[in-house]
Chains A and B, each alone.
Chain A
Amino acid sequence: MKTYKRRSGRVLGATLASLMVFAVACGGGDDGGSSGETDTTEGSGTSEAPSTEAPEGEPVVGGTLRVGLEADVDGLNPTASALAISGLTMAQAVFDPLFTFTADGDVVPYLAESITPNADFTEWTLKLREGVTFHDGTPLTVDAVIKQFEITRNDPLVGLAVRPYYPETDAVAKIDDLTMVFKPLEPSQFFPSALTAQLGYIASPTWLDALAADPTLEQQPVGTGPFKFDSRTEDSVTKFVRNDDWWGTSVMGPVYLDAIEFYPVPDADTRTELLLNGDLDILHTTDTNQFETYRDDSSLTLSIDDSGEEYFLMINTAKAPFDDVRVRKALALATDRQGYFDLFNAGEGRLADQMFIPESPYYNPDVVQEGNDPEGAAALVAEYCGEDPTAEDGTALCTDGKVNMEYQWSGPSVLATRIADFYNESWSGSFNVTFDEKNQQDHIQETALGIYNVVGWRQFGAENPGDDRVWLECRNIGGISLNWPRYCSEERDALIKEIANPASPDERAGLLQQLVQNIHDSYAYIFMTHSSWAVVNSSAVHGMCDRVSPGGDALPCSTNGRMFFSSIWLS
């Protein structure tokens, strides 16, 4: 079926982020139907095999798996499309990543056969598997990888997150058909994690060439994956069928499903009803209000994962009055975190103190997010306003002893407006808050360009925490700043460098804990909650957790709402 691509500004942040292996949904309350920034209880690194699962018997070949997604994608072109969780889920059925994370959090080869660094981790020699072909019959060679890398890097949008980390020339070099070298700007022991998602989903070069002439083809992806494209109607259904020539069959076992149908259903209630009705077999959701329903139904299996993004308030440190750390700290102290949690989280999820959940080896127990201290806030504000500060253009930054500020969010959204009212209430003791509701485009643009005081935001939680550097480094401050708060700390940049090349895992954990402390001390973020993803499946779905890597390592059942299909079978 012929369909067409549309690009929406909403997922732009996600585009940039997913390239760096993690996903971000920007801003509080812009998820429409689902209750945006909520999180959950039972958290852990990657979701584990649900304990209720009974012995499943022999896998059966056949059947069509119907998957409910929270959104549709604009296209499935790894070099240009905005791939958020839904997009990554669909992409990994049709593409194979060069590398993948194991259930233990290690990066292991997948479509790649191996990767070898030089002594100082500045050059990485990648070897591809032999004899792999794309769905269109094109053989897999490093030309495909190089072509994809260059196209991605030159894309005005998705290239934003790639360009800063590679030299302008000679970033990649071909050695032979199956061997090539990556030369990132800076040494990193964890370089392969950059090739586990969008940048690593290798697409057919024939198809990429055809795309240049007819961009509508990006609705019909051609990869090497366990499933191949069959048909797609935007905003309705996308169908993939089994790739009987999949290279992985010989190393990782057979693909059981005949086909997968993806149904983007933005309304979380409807998605749930479709599952309960038997119209879907599996879905993902961030709507914590639904979790209880899933628990109540014994025929459903629920797994929750809050190891991914955090929801926080983000402060523009480049703009008065928040260029003064006392004001940032005052805002944190004034914020009623507990009240927010009680009011908007419906008994699910947990408050966040930092970018790691307590189960994480990098969690820093000494770092506690302040809040619920209006007196402390008042004291700091009194001190600041006592100095009678003025902005560059001479306007007073304080009025009646309170700091003037703007809170921006993306609307129109009832939930986001309620949240804004809530914040205003807790801040009004020390701040004169002006509401600044923007449409999504302007919200993203003004955040990227630093035209804001305070916004609600969601990010962090990369599987390799070092990859979160893109949000944190000084170099990403500029016209468009991925370092949204525009907070530059040389000490932090040095830490990030060390984290990429630690002497031991223990040292790395220690360094990350220091990073957590550094982020806290900047008062550029007020951490609120850990965002939860739930994956729910019916009792007919089996084998989600039977996935292994080509090397035999156990792979996660799902990751922050991303689902994988190569091992699933239906009873």
Chain B
Amino acid sequence: MRYYVQRVALAILLLLAVSMLTFGALNVLGDPLFNILGPVAGDVNNPDSIKMIEVAKREFSLDRPLPVRYAIWLSDFVRGDFGVTFSSTGQPPVSGVISERLPRTVTLVAMAQFFAIFVSIPWALITASRAGKVSDRISTLNAFFLVAMPNFALAVILKYVFSIKLGWMPLTYVADDPLRSRLFQMILPALTIGLPVAAVYQRLLRTDIITTLQQDFILLARTKGLSRPRILLLHALRPSLFSFITVVGLNTGALIGGSIVSETVFRIPGIGSTLVESVLRNDFPVVLAIVMIVASSFVVINLLVDFAYTLIDPRVRR
């Protein structure tokens, strides 16, 4: 119990540090005024423009010292108010942007993670049980190919093969379609980010399963007359999952990163594409909110991974 209290406290500290760094960096590196006022922001010799600049600065609290602004932002943030976007009207509220777009990205990343896990596990089991054979070597090649290929290239290939040539899959995502079609439309985008990650999982899990298969308890299981698939699934898999779930947790970051490309190629209006736009526009409140959401989910998922160890290995419990 105490262990978890410590972990959670550490996580909160970490998030605070992330928010401070991001807040500071964003405010030092760019000028949000352009986004609010356009070229007027740079027209510093014109009295009218200067007046508009001052009004905008006051309205968006840009005239306050950085620590004060951080404090304001933080106290709003913990209460669920992510601030206003840096646009001429200050609209929409950042929480509005996030709450509309986040569910799509979460669905995408969850689906990608699902694919990655459920592709990599059978893949690893099969290749581990045939380690060194031709099929295993071909699979190794495939895995390296997937890992090495940039996300956007994979996206284009998947799209070309399954949407254009075969016509099995829709080309793009349409936010107004019924849920079932939208989930269907998410398959290719999810595969785009899930497959390379699946390849990473597979490499790791395959090695661990091969190690497990050398264990005496596998031999014992064989002497019981269990079939090979049964041994792999019931005896070899679970003890091999430790580094796997660690990496699953850590790769959530990679999946979110991949979602930026995937959302762009398949036209999914999620937070990945918003993040890119907002960074280019110096729309700090949006960037900050997204960074915090990503960082928080990363921390939470890795806490969950810690917890998952105890589910997998009774020896860690207590």
Chains A, B in direct contact (C-beta < 8 Å): yes
Binding site for B on A (CB under 8 A): 1-9, 12, 80, 155-157, 214-216, 231, 233-237, 239, 263-265, 267, 270, 273-274, 277, 279, 439-442, 444-446, 448-449, 478-480
Find out whether the CB atom of A445 lies under 8 angstroms from the CB atom of B174: no
A267-B265, A441-B281 known; A7 and B88 CB under 8 Å?
Answer: yes
C-alpha spacing A9/B281, complex, angstroms: 7
- Asked if B57 is an interface residue, CB under 8 A from chain A, the answer is no
For B281, give its contact among A4, A8, A273 (CB under 8 Å): A8
B256 to chain A minimum Cβ distance, whole angstroms, is 18
Interface readout for B259-294 with A: 1 if CB under 8 Å, 0 if not? Answer: 000000101110001000100111100000000000
> Is B89 a contact of A5 with CB atoms below 8 Å?
yes
**Which of B49, B88, B159 lies in contact with A479, CB distance below 8 A?**
B49
Q: How far is the CB of B276 from chain A (nearest CB, A)?
A: 11
Q: Is B298 an interface residue (CB 8 A)?
A: no
Shortest A82–chain B CB gap in Å is 10
Q: Is B72 an interface residue (CB 8 A)?
A: no
The residues of B with any CB-CB pair to A shorter than 8 Å are 34-35, 37-46, 49, 52, 85, 87-92, 96-97, 100, 159, 163-164, 167, 170-176, 265, 267-269, 273, 277, 280-283
- Are B273 and A235 in contact, with the CB atoms below 8 A? yes
Q: Give the distance in Å from the alpha carbon of A12 to the alpha carbon of B174 in the complex.
A: 27
Which B residues lie within 8 Å of A441 (CB)? 34-35, 280-282
Q: Are B88 and A157 in contact (CB under 8 A)?
A: yes
State the Cβ distance, A162 to closest chain B Cβ, in Å: 14
| Shortest Cβ gap from B99 to chain A (Å) | 9
Interface-central residue, A12, A265, A270, A439, by most chain B CB under 10 Å: A270
Contact A274 B171 (CB under 8 A): yes
Tell me which residues across on chain A come within 8 A of B38, comparing CB atoms: 9, 12, 156-157, 444-445
Q: Which of B42, B52, B280 is within 8 Å of A156, CB to CB?
A: B52
CB distance from A323 to the nearest CB of B (A): 19
**In the bound complex, what is the Cα–Cα distance between A441 and B282 (angstroms)?**
9
B171 touches A236 (CB 8 A): no
Alpha-carbon distance between A2 and B282 when the two chains are bound, in angstroms: 24
Q: Which residues of A contact B273 (CB under 8 A)?
A: 235
Of the residues B35, B43, B159, B176, contact of A449 by C-beta under 8 Å: B43
In the complex, A8 Cα to B85 Cα: how many Å?
Answer: 12
**Are B175 and A445 in contact, CB atoms less than 8 angstroms apart?**
no
CB <8 Å contact, B34 and A215:
no
A273 near B45: Cβ-Cβ < 8 Å = no
Residues on B with C-beta less than 8 A from A156 are: 37-38, 40, 52, 88
Given the contacts A270-B171, A279-B171, A233 and B269 also touching, CB distance less than 8 Å = yes
A4 touches B39 (CB 8 A): no
- In the complex, what residues of A have CB within 8 A of residue B40's CB? 156-157, 480
- Please name all residues of chain B whose beta carbon is closer than 8 Å to the beta carbon of A267 when the two chains form the complex: 265
A6 and B167 in contact (CB under 8 A), knowing A235-B267, A237-B175, A441-B282?
no
* Cβ contact within 8 Å between B46 and A479: yes
Q: Are B277 and A8 in contact (CB under 8 A)?
A: yes
Contact B171 A237 (CB under 8 A): no
Task: Output the nearest chain A residue to B47 by Cβ-Cβ distance.
Answer: A479
In the complex, what distance in Å separates the CA atom of A445 from the CA atom of B30? 14
Name the residue on A nearest B92 (C-beta).
A4
Partner of B100, one of A2, A7, A264, A273: A2
> Distance (Å) between the CB of B201 and the closest chain A CB?
30
- Distance in angstroms from A214 CB to nearest chain B CB is 8
Given contacts A236-B176, A479-B43, contact A7 B35 (CB under 8 A): yes
Shortest Cβ distance from B184 into chain A, in angstroms? 14
Whether B46 and A236, one on each chain, are in contact in the complex, defined by CB atoms closer than 8 angstroms, is no
- Minimum C-beta distance from B277 to chain A (A): 7
Q: Are B87 and A5 in touch, CB under 8 angstroms?
A: yes
Given A235-B273, A277-B164, answer yes or no on A215-B39 (Cβ-Cβ < 8 Å): no
- Determine which of A1, A234, A235, A439 lies in contact with B280 in the assembled complex, contact meaning CB atoms within 8 Å: A439
**B92 CB to nearest A CB, Å:** 3
Query: Quick one: given A6-B277, A9-B281, A157-B88, are A236 and B174 in contact (CB under 8 Å)?
Result: yes
> When the two chains form the complex, which single residue of B37, B92, B269 contacts A216, counting CB atoms closer than 8 Å?
B92
Looking at the assembled complex, report how far the CB atom of B96 sits from the nearest CB atom of chain A, in whole angstroms.
5
Contact status of A263 and B174, CB under 8 A, knowing A277-B164, A479-B43: yes
B residues less than 8 Å from A277 (CB atoms): 163-164, 167, 171
Instruction: Provide the bound-state CA to CA distance between A273 and B165, in Å.
Output: 10
- A234: B residues at CB distance < 8 A: 269
Give the chain B neighbours of A478 by CB distance below 8 A.
46
Task: State the Cβ distance, B166 to closest chain A Cβ, in Å.
Answer: 12
CA distance A235 to B174 in the complex (A): 9
Q: Whole-angstrom distance from the CB of B164 to the nearest CB of chain A?
A: 6
By the criterion CB–CB under 8 Å, are B34 and A9 in contact? yes
Residues of B within 8 A of A264 (CB): 267
Of the residues B39, B163, B174, B269, contact of A444 by C-beta under 8 Å: B39
A446 to B34, CA, bound (A): 11
- Across the interface, name the chain A residue whose C-beta is closest to B286: A6
Q: How far is the CB of B186 from chain A (nearest CB, A)?
A: 13
CA distance A479 to B51 in the complex (A): 14
A-B contact pairs, 23 of them (CB 8 A): A2-B100, A6-B87, A156-B38, A214-B91, A215-B89, A216-B96, A231-B176, A236-B173, A236-B175, A236-B269, A270-B267, A274-B171, A279-B170, A279-B171, A279-B172, A440-B280, A441-B280, A441-B281, A441-B282, A444-B39, A445-B41, A449-B42, A479-B46
CA distance A233 to B171 in the complex (A): 18
Beta-carbon nearest neighbor of A74 in chain B: B87
Residues of A close to B265: CB separation below 8 A: 267, 270
B97: chain A residues within 8 A (beta carbon)? 4, 6
Which 3 residue pairs of A and B lie closest in terms of their CB atoms, listed nearest first? A4-B92, A233-B175, A236-B175
List chain A residues, Cβ under 8 A from B164: 273, 277
List 14 extra interface pairs beyond A237-B174, A445-B42, CB under 8 A. Answer: A4-B92, A5-B89, A6-B283, A7-B88, A8-B277, A215-B89, A231-B176, A237-B175, A263-B267, A265-B172, A277-B171, A279-B171, A442-B34, A479-B43
Q: Cβ of B89 and Cβ of A265 under 8 Å apart?
A: no
Residues of chain A within 8 A of B159, CB atoms compared? 270
Contacts of A480 in B (CB 8 A): 39-40, 43, 46, 49
CB distance from B105 to the nearest CB of A (A): 13
Q: Give bound CA distance, A480 to B159, whole Å.
A: 45
CB-defined contacts of A157 to chain B, threshold 8 Å: 37-38, 40, 88
Evaluate contact between A237 and B39: CB separation under 8 angstroms.
no
Residues of A within 8 A of B172 (CB): 263, 265, 270, 274, 279
- Closest-by-CB residue of A relative to B282 is A441
Which of B35, B39, B90, B100 is the most central at the interface, judged by chain A CB atoms within 10 Å of its CB? B39
User: When the two chains form their complex, are residues A3 and B267 in contact, meaning their CB atoms are under 8 A apart?
Assistant: no
A231 neighbours in B (Cβ, 8 Å): 176
